[in-house]
Amino acid sequence: MDEALKDTKDYRTFLWKILKEVIKENNLSIDTVFEVGGIIDPLLDHAAYSFSLSYVHFYQLTLERAQRRLS
């Protein structure tokens, strides 16, 4: 899970690198940049949160199954 969460940072960095190029090429306003950031950053945060919840749920199920087998 640690690596997956670190990867989220890499995705964010990559997306903003590409967006920076698009912003410069199209001479977009600062308002547009903040608007885009207000969409992209929460989406990436939600993806990381959803992944974390799924991982924790799977981990808990695995622990419960192991405990039942030991009982």
Structure tokens at 55: 């991982």
pLDDT tens profile 15-61: 999 999 999 999 999 999 999 999 999 999 998 899 889 989 999 99
43 vs 51: CA distance, rounded Å:
12
- Cβ neighbours of residue 40 under 8 Å, at least 6 residues apart? 12, 15, 16, 19
Q: How far apart are the first and last CA of the chain?
A: 28
Q: Are 14 and 61 in contact (CB under 8 A)?
A: no
The yes-or-no verdict on residue 4 having pLDDT over 90 is: no
